[in-house]
Amino acid sequence: MNDPIHTLVMEEITDPVELAKFRARREKFDGNWAWFEQHAPEIYRQHRGKCICVSGGELFVADTPEDVITLAKTAHPDDEGRFTRYIPVERVARIYAH
């Protein structure tokens, strides 16, 4: 039974044009993610406490999410496959559970 916290509506994209755009974004993301995974240990080591963004197969680093997304969008305005992450200051085991 679902918890009655709030209601979610589940749908699917049926417009072929929107679907094609979605897949194209995902392909770009997959490229950025592959680049990130290749460089992740080095990125984690060098940028603790920072916000990062990978876009166009390039790493951007800033102190805030707003700043890092601005850097990435300026360099690669058409890349909607970009993603951001915050690299924790401490390298510790985590229990999430929110």
Partner 1 sequence: MRINGAWHLCDDDRVRPVVTGEIAAADGNRQQVTFLLDIGADRTVLSADILRSSGLAFTASPDRLGGVGGTVDAVTVDTQIVFLREDGGTAVFKGRFAAFTDPKALDMSVLGRDITNLFAVIVDRPQDIVCMLGQRHRYVIQER
Binding site for partner 1 (CB under 8 A): 2-3, 5-13, 19, 22-23, 25-26, 29, 32-33, 37, 40-41, 44, 48, 51, 53, 64-66, 68-69, 80-89, 91-98
Q: Are 79 and 95 in contact (CB under 8 A)?
A: no
Measured distance CA(74)–CA(98) in Å, rounded: 34
Least Å from the CB of residue 24 to partner 1: 10
Smallest gap, in angstroms, from Cβ of residue 60 to partner 1? 11
Distance CA 30, CA 54 (A): 11
Least Å distance, CB 35 to partner 1, is 13
5 or 17, CB closer to partner 1? 5
Which residue from 79, 73, 70, 74 is spatially nearest to 35, judged by alpha carbons?
79
